[in-house]
Structure 1
């Protein structure tokens, strides 16, 4: 069994932790193939699904409803396509809001992504240049703790 975190976006963070919830087995920032949608989105979802196993315990970051910008539509599209692919494969997932992710990582639900770098490193010794992968790591940790409460 692995514990998986997915931070869906145009650059999707993916982290798989081993059954002990400590060993980092996979870290990846997935971007799909091509520059035009929906092709890029389809390839991105396929890429995410290629990294999953049937007995994975998955946490996925919920939608950031306050987001603005030209890529918000793509983020919702990618998020729903991943959820649909998980459903079709029979993989259950837990949705974690952005605020819950931040609170788990730093104790504050309103931290910026950059402010999570130090708490993630101090708590778990994990570092990565991508904030999407860092978020996926925290989601994988949440997945572990949901299955193994202290």
Structure 2
């Protein structure tokens, strides 16, 4: 069984895995070829393909996917949501129904506070997970905490965390929500 964390982005998607012993990470970077709808669809399809190929999800693996930022404001909002839904669908097609973990739960896992900054999350990633996985950017940092969440859900016990850090994740698990 393997635990995967996926932090989606059109420019830089972070991926981290934990199999109970080893950690690994990757970043998928893409840029648009042009602004046509067809080019966009090719781009998000490529991102989804790379995620599936890197994770190669098997029955029993646990994947945590950061939930879409519903409060986000951007001219690219429709495209971010399109990417999110396409990846979610593709993971389901590979027998890997992902747990959707909202950003505040990721922040709480890392720092104990659901409103922490990305910088604070990165600092805690280096402090708590640095001996396991060498993250290079915010996307990998978030993906690392998503992998921790997936590891906890899978019963792989990735690292001990204070109760305050686990509150949001425990509530998500109680709801039984992928």
Question: Normalising by structure 1, what TM-score?
Answer: 0.89
Compared with structure 1, are the counterparts of its residues 31 and 140 closer, same or farther at alpha carbon in structure 2 (3 Å cutoff)?
Answer: same
Partner of 1:129: 136
* Residue in 2 that maps onto 1:71: 76
- Residue from 96, 106, 109 that aligns with 1:104: 109
- Which residues in structure 2 correspond to 1:36-115 (within 5 Å)? 36-53=39-56, 54-55=58-59, 56-115=61-120
Contact 1:61/1:98 (CA < 8 Å) preserved in 2?
A: yes
- Asked whether the equivalents of residues 61 and 96 of structure 1 are also in contact (C-alpha less than 8 Å), the reply is yes
Structure 2: any 5+ residue segments left out of the alignment?
34-38, 161-178
Which of the two has greater helix per residue?
Answer: 2
Point out where structure 1 has 5 or more consecutive residues left out of the alignment.
Answer: none
CA–CA distance in 2 between the matches of 1:109 and 1:139?
Answer: 14
Following superposition, the deviation at residue 109 of structure 1 comes to 0.3
Q: Distance in 2 between matches of 1:24 and 1:118?
A: 18
Q: How many residues align?
A: 147
CA RMSD of aligned residues (A): 1.8
Q: Deviations over 1:40-79 (max 9, x none)?
A: 1111111111112314210110011111122222211111
Runs of 4+ in 1 over 6 A off after TM superposition: none
SS at match of 2:153: helix
TM-score by length of 2: 0.76
Identify the range of structure 1 (119-128 vs 57-66) with the bigger mean alpha-carbon deviation. 119-128
